[in-house]
Amino acid sequence: MTHLTEREQVQAHLARSYQPAAVSADESLQRERIKTLLKAHNATLVAHYYTEDSLQALAEETGGCVADSLEMARFGAASPSSTLVVAGVRFMGETAKMLSPDKRVLMPTLEATCSLDIGCPAPEFSAFCDAHPDRTVVVYANTSAEVKARADWVVTSAIAEDVVAHLHARGERIIWAPDKHLGRFVQSRTGADMLMWEGACIVHEEFKARGIEDMLRVYPQAAVLVHPESPQAVVDLADVAGSTSQLINAARKMTQDTLIVATDRGIFYKMQQAVPDKLLIEAPTGGNGATCRSCAHCPWMAMNSLDKLELCLEEGLGAIEVDDAIRRRALVGLERMLTFRNSL
Ligand code: SF4
C-alpha cells in the first residue's frame, strides 16, 4: 500500500489549490466581441458551475446566470431574451428547450454529453421500467429527453432526497436512474425502497477516500465537501455532502478556512467568490493523491470554450430541438419537480 511522503502531499496540495486564471488581452477582446454578439441576437448566456471560469465570468457580466442545471433552465425560461445560449452539456440544453419551447436554444457544442446520459439509453431504460410496472419512476436531470419522457418524476441532486422522502412516505416503491451513487445516498437518507439503474459519473467516481485521508493528514483542520455522485467511501468522509448549490452554501456557513472539495473543479469559480478568504483544494482523483487521472474536470463540460461560444453566436450553430411529443411527456416529471419545489 503506497503512502505519500509529507513533502509529496504538500506538493499535491499546491498543485490542486484553486488559482483564478489571469485574463489575457486577447481574451478581453474576445469577451467584448461576444458581449456585442449576445446583444445583437437578443441572447442570454447561462453557464453551469462546471464550465471554465471565462464562460462563468461572461455569463455574470452580461446579466446571465451561473447555476446548477435546474436553475439554468428556470432562469432561461424567465428571461425576456428570445435566444438562450447554454454553456454546459446536452441534457441542460434540452431541459432549457423543454421549459422554453418558443425560444431559440443554442449550445457552444452539441458534442458535450454526460456519462450518466450515455449510460442510460432510452430503449433499455424503458424495458427496465416495463419490467417493474408497480414502481414510481424517478430520474435524475442528467438524462436524455427520451428518458425523462418515461419518468414520473425528474429530480436534480438538490431536491432528490426531498422528493424520494415524499414518495416513500406515500408508500411508493421507486425505480431510480441513472446514478447509482446518488441513488444509494438518497436511499440511505430516506430508507426508501429503490431499485437502481447502474450508472455512474466518470468524474465523481474517480475521487478516492485514500487520497482525501492523505490530504487530511496534512490539513487536519480542513472540512471535506463531497458531491453525492461520489463513491460511498468518499461520502463517508464528508463533513457535508450535497448538490453544487448546497456545497457552495455550506462553504459559506462552515467555520473551517480550508476546504477539500470533491466535485468538478469548475465549482471553485463561484465557491471562491462566496468564500474569498478560504483555501479551496481539489480532492484527489484516480490514485493516492500525487497523481491525477481525471483532474476532477468533466471532459464534456471542458468542450465549452469562448471560441465555440463566439462561433455559435456568429453562425447560429448548435441549435437544440426536442420532439414535441417527447417534450410534452418529459414536462410531466419536470413540472412535478418544479411544483414540489415551490411547495417546500
Ligand atoms: S460531471 Fe459527471 S454528471 Fe456532470 S456532466 Fe460531467 S459526466 Fe455528467
Query: Hey, what domains does the chain have and what are their CATH numbers?
Result: 6-18+203-297 (3.40.50.10800), 25-114+302-315 (3.40.50.10800), 115-200 (3.40.50.10800)
Q: With a cut of 50, say whether residue 167 has pLDDT above it.
A: yes
Among the listed ranges 131-135, 268-272, 283-287, 295-299, which one has the minimum average pLDDT value?
283-287
Residue 94, pLDDT score: 96
207: cell is 475521487
Mean pLDDT along residues 241-249: 96
Answer yes or no: are the C-beta atoms of 266 and 297 closer than 8 Å: yes
| Cβ of 175 less than 6 Å from ligand 1 | no
Q: With a cut of 70, say whether residue 6 has pLDDT above it.
A: no
| Cβ of 197 less than 6 Å from ligand 1 | no
Residue with the smallest CA separation from ligand 1 atom 2 is 201
Nearest ligand 1 atom to the CA of 116 is 8
Select from 68, 83, 101, 129 the least CA-distant residue to 337: 68
**With the C-alpha atoms ordered 112, 142, 266, 342, is the resulting torsion angle positive or negative?**
positive
Dist CA 95 CA 343 (whole Å): 21
Select from 301, 236, 221, 292 the least CA-distant residue to 269: 301
**For the whole model, what pTM was predicted?**
0.92
Q: Which of 52, 86, 111, 116 to mutate to test the pocket of ligand 1 (most atoms within 8 A of CB)?
A: 116
The dihedrals phi and psi of 233, each to the nearest 5 degrees, come to -60, -30
Residue 206, pLDDT score: 92
Find the 19 Cα to ligand 1 centroid distance in Å: 22
| Cβ of 202 less than 6 Å from ligand 1 | yes
